[in-house]
Amino acid sequence: MASVASHRLFSASFSFFFLLLIPRHGASTDFQYCNKEADYPVKVSSVQISPDPIARGKPAKFKITANAGAPISGGMLVIDVKYFGFLVHEETHDLCEETSCPILNSDFILSHQQTLPSYAPPGTYTLTMKLIANAIELTCINFDFSIRFASVADI
């Protein structure tokens, strides 16, 4: 009887642990505004990363849903990535290459796909994204993402 209970406990524990290893697709990621007291004209409602965690050397998609309080005809998307507090990557994109312009007073989606280098160390990274137009910071958010160790499926 005790062995049946032990087996069930082991099976349940193993199943739970296995579920933790499965990448989440499309789940919303927590984010924070860079300045919690700022009243940014662009309000971010969600951040999605797929897959989550990200596999080194494989494409990852970042999808940010936001709302513009006023029309936006263009601008820059500035991205900084930190690992253990050290800046490891930065890039700037034309906003209109990441979404359709002009952006009206409505919801819009910023979508960016990138393949992270296969030599990127596994762990948690912090991404800061700023949307800038006419030298005005329209929004700024921070969120964490993870890069996982390679698995047999990645080889």
Q: What is the pLDDT of residues 32-82, one digit of tens each?
A: 999 999 999 999 999 999 999 999 989 999 999 999 989 999 999 999 999
pTM of the model: 0.77
Angle at 55 between CA 123 and CA 150, to 5 degrees: 80
Domain boundaries, the chain: 24-150
Angle at 153 between CA 51 and CA 64, to 5 degrees: 10
Nearest to 112 by CA among 54, 53, 41, 59: 59
Helix (H) or strand (E) holding 94: strand 86-94
Distance CA 145, CA 41 (A): 25
What percent of the chain has a predicted confidence (pLDDT) above 70? 79
pLDDT greater than 80 at residue 2: no
pLDDT tens-digit readout, 75-93? 999 999 999 999 999 999 9
Q: In what order do the strands lie in the sheet with 59-68?
A: 28-29, 42-50, 59-68, 107-115
- The answer to whether the beta carbons of residues 40 and 80 sit under 8 Å apart is no
CATH top-level class of 24-150? mainly beta
pLDDT greater than 80 at residue 123: yes
